[in-house]
């Protein structure tokens, strides 16, 4: 643990295998022998919706935006993947096309594994298969909740409130419990809650006027979490 922190501090290279550390030594060794580690800049596209799976991407560092989009250019951001997540598992397991498009939001370190290796390791190591299944299950679960909260709330303000409260909870570990940094543009926030850029701007100013939040640059302070939560009915 100390060593890990030291290494991280020394050469900002969190061990890329950190993502595999929960596995047994055998599985970890097998994974490390077939992985291909790549460093991507911000804005790099890992894979594109409806293209055949080229493999699984394990995010070691950085955040990745997962989205789907329609022919006329409208985009819906499914979620933002954090370090530790695997992307494209479903497509790789079944040899199908990717369900979404993955694009890095920041410089990222990513381990790539080919579908054939993935399937081989899954049948070789039951532990690994179970882990991948659990991952898929969690992914499925989060998509259901996304669908739920997007479709069952009629107003855009409800969806924005829910998004902000959610961010508060995930950022809570590292930052203050009522303060967060908006790393996405209004446009991207709009794409997350299925509305327009203008509406996001208007809602944020409305929230500010109602004293629910305060904004200083890209920092957003939640002043009245209770009121924000009371907007949520779904």
Partner DNA sequence: TGGGCAGAGTGATCAAGGTCACGCAGCAAC
Partner DNA sequence: GTTGCTGCGTGACCTTGATCACTCTGCCCA
| Residue ranges in contact with its own copies by CB under 8 A | 68-72, 74, 76, 78, 89-91, 93-94, 96, 99-100, 119, 122-123, 126, 129-130, 132-134, 136-141, 143-148, 150-153, 194, 233-234
Distances (CA, A) of 180 to 58, 148, 170, 204: 26, 25, 10, 14
Residue of 38, 143, 149, 199 that binds DNA (CB under 7 A)? 199
The reply on whether position 214 binds DNA by CB under 7 A is: no
Rule CB under 7 A: which of 93-112 touch DNA? none
Rule CB under 7 A: which of 170-189 touch DNA? 182, 185-187
Choice between 213 and 231, CB closer to its own copies? 231
Neighbours of 99 (CB within 10 A): 17
Q: How far is the CB of 212 from DNA (least distance, A)?
A: 15
Q: Which stretch binds DNA (CB under 7 A): 6-14, 115-123, 169-177, 199-207?
A: 199-207
CA–CA distance, 222 with 229 (Å, rounded to integer): 11
Q: How far is the CB of 13 from DNA (least distance, A)?
A: 25
The DSSP H or E segment spanning 47 is strand 45-47
Q: How far is the CB of 30 from DNA (least distance, A)?
A: 41
Distances (CA, A) of 214 to 24, 40, 221: 47, 34, 5
Choice between 122 and 212, CB closer to DNA? 212
CA–CA distance, 72 with 166 (Å, rounded to integer): 30
**What is the C-alpha end-to-end distance of the chain, expressed in Å?**
41
């Amino acid at each position: 643990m100390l060593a890990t922190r030291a290494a991280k501090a020394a050469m900002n290279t969190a061990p890329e295998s950190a993502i595999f550390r929960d596995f047994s030594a055998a599985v970890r060794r097998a994974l490390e022998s077939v992985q291909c580690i790549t460093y991507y800049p911000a804005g790099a596209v890992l894979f594109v919706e409806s293209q055949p799976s080229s493999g699984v991407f394990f995010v070691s560092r950085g955040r990745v935006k997962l989205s789907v989009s329609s022919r006329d250019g409208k985009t819906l951001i499914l979620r933002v993947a954090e370090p530790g997540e695997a992307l494209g598992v479903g497509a790789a397991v079944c040899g199908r096309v990717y369900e979404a498009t993955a694009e890095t939001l920041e410089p990222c370190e990513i381990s790539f594994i080919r579908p054939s290796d993935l399937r081989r390791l899954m049948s070789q190591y039951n532990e690994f298969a179970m882990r991948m299944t659990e991952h898929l299950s969690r992914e499925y679960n989060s998509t259901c909740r996304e669908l739920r909260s997007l479709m069952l709330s009629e107003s855009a303000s409800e969806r924005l409130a829910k998004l902000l409260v959610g961010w508060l909870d995930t950022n809570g570990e590292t930052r203050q419990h009522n303060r967060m940094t908006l790393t996405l543009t209004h446009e991207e926030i709009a794409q997350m809650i299925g509305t327009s850029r203008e509406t996001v701007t208007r809602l944020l100013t409305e929230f500010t006027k109602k004293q629910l939040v305060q904004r200083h640059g890209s920092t957003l302070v939640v002043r009245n979490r209770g009121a924000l939560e009371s907007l949520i009915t779904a």
